[in-house]
Amino acid sequence: MDFAKKVGLEVTTIAFVANLQANISTPGNHSKKRIFSNEIKKITDRFSNNNLAYQEFESIIRGVMLTWCFSNGKIDIIKLGNSLLEKYMNNL
């Protein structure tokens, strides 16, 4: 969430659009050779070595970023993201 906030709303929104368009032509492409996805996988593997934990964690992060985009930056992406990720990690 820090990265999204740093690069800004416009760049984050454009990245979502580009990733969705790329995924239409090459399904599953969003997770290949992506630093973001690889870092999430490393984090989740420390707690649970199953793909479901990775998918859940990634969904929370992407969901928070997308919600931030839909709100035109009006929500606090850091506060919302930290709250949701903390709840998730406490329940692993």
Q: Is 48 helix (H, G, I), strand (E, B) or coil?
A: coil
Domain-wise residue ranges, the chain: 2-90
What is the gyration radius of the CA atoms in the chain, in angstroms?
A: 13
pTM: 0.81
Residues 6+ apart with CB under 8 A from 80: 1, 64, 67, 68
Alpha-carbon distance values, 28 to 21, 37, 72 (Å) = 11, 12, 27
Query: What is the pLDDT at residue 35?
Result: 76
The stretches of the chain forming alpha helices (DSSP H) are: 2-7, 9-25, 35-47, 51-70, 77-90
Taking only the tens place, the pLDDT of each residue in 1-57 is 999 999 999 999 999 898 888 888 888 766 666 777 788 888 888 877 778 888 898
